[in-house]
Amino acid sequence: MSEEIFSHYDYGITCIDSGYIRPKMAAIYLLEHGEEVAIIETGTNHSLARVLTLLDKKNIAPSQVRYVIPTHVHLDHAGGAGSMMDIFPNAELIVHPRGARHLADPSRLMKGVIDVYGQEKYDSLYGELIAVSKNRIVEAADEMKLDLAGRTLLIRHTPGHAEHHICIWDEQSKGWFTGDTFGVSYQEMIGPDLRHIIPTTSPVQFSPEKLINSINLLMSYNPESIYLTHFGLLENPQFYAEKLCECIFYYCEVAQVNRNESNPIEKIEDAIFRKESAQLNKIAPSIDRAQAHELLDMDFNLNAQGLIVWLNRN
């Protein structure tokens, strides 16, 4: 297994490419302190081998994993929770109260994805979800503190992308592990001076007001770093927070303008793509229009769907 799937940061933090869909699309974070380890995000069942490879390289025993913390229960973030909990005997699974029941009984999560994508694609992406025993699940209240061998991790509820979303504040690194709350910025979206970032407005619980409030909450801690699930370490968070909020407002305006069109999802997706691909090309000129489509079409389609669901609720 190539070393390229691991990126080592300061403060005992390692980013693991989970292997979801394509290289460097979704991350898992290993956080080491003293003799204990926290794993933030789980990827899918297929990601476990990568986590175990890293633990072996670091001579970390499975028994040293203290916490497994998915930011929310979408399957690219929590699909491997059951597999991990089977391997890590001393770990507690930390999850938003609204997500806990879905990891204790993942049948509804599985059915929802199978209904959309079909059994064959579901199996290739995720595999059979494993239920986690309820007595190993900790429902994380807002402002709950976790002790990782003397290192404090703070849980904050951050709705907007999903009602069951949490972010994790690491006091030592002054950094947030943000799941989908702080948007998406793949490695291909990094230019010489800046990186391009977009929000995630995917179905079915997108709320612009809540998402902006959650971003503002993160910024109130004056973070120095953001650890994106999609993807990697992002610095200068305040600058990108402002960009994200501007973008959320723009997406909502586009959705309102196109809500009565005969094919609103297609119209919204096209408008978003034209704006974002132009901005991306300015930041990373090597990304042409065709490459932008390949990189971002799935995100923009999901974002457009989420915007329509939001419009239909309002």
Structural domains in the chain, CATH included, are: 3-236 (3.60.15.10), 245-313 (no CATH)
pLDDT of residue 237: 97
Q: What is the pLDDT of residues 254-293, one digit of tens each?
A: 999 998 888 999 999 999 999 999 999 999 998 988 999 9
pTM given for the model: 0.95
- Per the listing, tokens 């070393």 go with 3
pLDDT value at 2 more than 60: no
Percent of the chain with pLDDT over 70: 99
Residue range 39-91, pLDDT digits in tens: 999 999 999 999 999 999 999 999 999 999 999 999 999 999 999 999 999 99
pLDDT tens per residue across span 103-159: 999 888 888 788 767 888 888 888 889 999 999 999 999 999 999 999 999 999 999
pLDDT at position 115 is 76
Residue 228 has pLDDT above 70, yes or no: yes
